Amino acid sequence: MFRSSPHLVTQTIDTRPPLSTFFGVAASLGLTLALAAFYTLGAVTVPLLVFTATVMIVGYGLAHSYEHSRLGLCNIVTLSRAAMVAFIAGAVLVPDRSVWIVFGIAVLAFALDGVDGWLARRTGLVSDFGARFDMEVDAGLGAVISLWLLAGGIAGPEILILGFMRYAFVAASYLWPALQAPLPHSLRRKVICVVQIAALIILMCPLTPQAVLLPIGALAAVLLSGSFLTDILWLARRAG
């Protein structure tokens, strides 16, 4: 998930990544998550397991590829979004309970996307680590929402296209190494990501008419598939 940065080799004690702050914030969020999951979902095991695994992976990335000495509110916001993703993961097992609460958590997680990047730029804490962290949380949000929709019978297995396209791409990259090459920054890719999550959240909303569920999901899936196909073709041409 995260790669080591050569810059960290020459870091002094004063510029080491703020691991103690990170794990302190993670502990507070974990406690909040446990309480929220217990009182709304009736179970805390899955949310805490998902969040703990996330914290361990992100902590490793922070230690090996973060170049600033301050954690910053930007990364705290992203970590908070990761806790929301863990909450929704727990809701997959009880999709009929607290539907509006799960929907609200998903909306909040989506609304905060972009806030972390804005904070990073404003405070001078922009990093490859932060960008990757944000991207992985976005991917996780899409995955857990799609699973929740499937578990609740709101959508069929085709909804997994919206939630797991990125993970399929990553898996394919191990079979076709050309897909592991870096991609250029793309506004198209960012817009499609917003469309993907927005479509999933619309499908979650209890007020969304049944008649529009399939068209919205299908349109978003076509746009997302086209975006990935564009990137795959670009990488294939680059690989020669």
User: For 98-147, what is each residue's pLDDT tens digit?
Assistant: 899 999 999 999 999 989 989 999 999 999 999 999 999 999 999 999 99
- Listed in sequence order, the residues at least 6 apart from 39 whose beta carbon sits closer than 8 Å to its beta carbon are none
CATH, residue 185: 1.20.120
Distance CA 55, CA 61 (A): 10
Q: Is the pLDDT of residue 7 over 80?
A: no
DSSP string computed for 85-98 = HHHHHHHTTSTTSS
Split into its structural domains, the chain has a count of: 1
d(CA 206, CA 200): 12
The whole-angstrom separation of Cα 3 and Cα 212 is 42
Residue 210, domain member (yes or no) = yes
User: 32 lies in which domain range?
Assistant: 15-239
Residue-level pLDDT at 154: 92
Element (H, E) at 75: helix 72-91
Any domain includes 151: yes
What value does the mean pLDDT of the chain take?
91
pLDDT at 239: 83
Q: Is residue 50 part of a domain?
A: yes
